Amino acid sequence: MLKYFISSTELLLAAALVTGLITSFAKLAYGKKGMIFTWCAAGIGTVGAAVMCYMKNTTSKIDTSLWNFRTFAVSLCGLILFFISYGIGSLTGKKSSSKKEGSSRTAAILEYIQLVLISIVCAAALFYSLPDLFGYPYTILLTEKTVLSTGFLFKLIGVIFGMILVFLSGLAVYKLSLRLGKKYSMLFTSLVLIVNGIRQITVCLSTMLTKRMIISGVTVSREFYKKLFNIAKFTKNNENVFTYAVLAVIAVMPVIMIVRSLRQNEPYRNPAEKRKIRFKWKVGRRWAVLSVCCIAMITANMTGIKALANRTVELSPIEECRIEDGNCVVTFEQVADGHLHRFAYTTESGVQIRFIIIKKPDSSSYGIGLDACDICGETGYYEKDGMVVCKLCDVVMNIRTIGFKGGCNPIVIPYNIENGSIKVPIDGLLEYEKEFK
C-alpha cells in the first residue's frame, strides 16, 4: 500500500500543481473564458491519457519514452510561445494610450493565443501523468488474482490516498493563488512552469541520447556529447531535485498569505464589512495551513515513508541439499517445520539457481517452485508472520497455491517424491538459468 501511495503521489504531484496554478492564473487574467479554456484542456488531457493507457496495456505500438518526448516537446513549445506572447501583450498594452478598436482587437487575439498556449501546457501535464494512474488497476491485477483480494484492495487504497493528497495540494495552491492576486499568481505560475520545463528538457535530452538522436562525433562533438551525457545522468539520478524545487516555490505562497492576512488594513464602513474582511483573510489562512500540511506530508512521503516502504528485506540463507543422480535432493526432515526453506544449484558458469520448498499447512504436500516469478523476476520470496511474500511487490502468497501457475506465484518446476525425499531434476533447473544471470 505504501509503495502505491508514494508512486501515485510522485506521479501526479507536478500535474496537480501545474493545473492548479494555470487554472487560477487563467481565471485572474482572462476571467470566465480563461476558466473555460483550462477546463477544456484538462478534459482533453484526461481523455487523451485514458486512450494512451488503453493503447499501452492492449497493444505493443506505444513507445513510452518517445511519446513522453513528443509530449514534453509540445509542452515546451507552448510554454515558450506563451511567455513570448504574454510579453508582447504586456508591452503593447503599456504603449497603447487609448483603447482604439484596432488595439482592442489585437489584444483580444493575443489573449486567445495565450489561452490556447497555456491550455496546451495544462493538457500536456495531465496527458503525461494520468496514463500510468489509469493503468494501476491493470498493473495490480498482474500480481493479484482478483479485484476482491486483500492485496488488490490495500494497493488500491494506497493509490486513492495518493490521489487525495495530490488533489488537496492542487486545490490549496489554486485557492491561495486566487487570493494572492494576478501579480503573485503570474510569478508563482511562471516559476513552477520554468522548473517543470527544465525537468522536461532533461528528460527529452535523456531520450535523445538513448534513442541515438544525438550521436557522439556525428551530430555533436565528443566533448559536447560527454557534457550532455553527464547532465542527463545527473538529472536521472536526482529526479526529486525538481520536485523539491517546485515544493520550495509553493511553500512561499502560504507564508505570503499569512503575512498579508496579519497586516491587512482594508477600509470598511461598518462592522458587517469588517467581519466580512476578517472572514476572507481567515479563510485564506486556512488554505495556507492546508497547503503547509500537504507540503509537509508530501516531503515526508518522499523521504521517510519512501525509505520505510523501500527498506531492504534480507532473504534467508541458502540451505544445503544433496546432489545425487542428476537431482537436488532435500529430505522431508529438512522442510518439515512448515517454514520457507531456500535451496540452490550452482551451474558450471557460476549461476546460482534458487528454489524454495515449504510444507503446506494442515497437509502432507509441499509447495515447491523457483525463488522467482514471471512478473517480478528473481528478486525472491521471504517469510513474514507465517506468510510467504514477494520481495519486490509485497504480494502475499497463498501457501496452498505455491506450486501452481498464476499471479506472482513461484515459477513451477518439476520434482519427484521418493523414499522420504524431494528430488528436483537439475535439468529442470537449468532451463531457468537465464532468470538468475
Closest CA to 192 of 8, 22, 10, 9: 22
Angle at 82 between CA 81 and CA 84, to 5 degrees: 65
Start-end of H helices in 263-368: 271-300, 306-309
Condensed to tens digits (0 to 9), the pLDDT of residues 60-74 reads 788 888 898 999 999
Condensed to tens digits (0 to 9), the pLDDT of residues 71-106 reads 999 999 999 999 998 888 777 765 554 455 556 777
CB burial string 209-241: b at 16+ within 10 A, e below: beeeebebeeeeeeeebeebeeebeebeeeeee
Condensed to tens digits (0 to 9), the pLDDT of residues 211-268 reads 888 887 777 888 888 888 888 888 888 888 899 999 999 999 999 999 988 887 778 8
* pLDDT of residue 119 exceeding 90: yes
Domain with CATH 2.102.10.10 in the chain: 322-436
Residues 37-46, mean pLDDT to the nearest whole number? 94
| Domain 322-436 belongs in CATH node 2.102.10.10 | yes
| pTM (2 d.p.) | 0.73
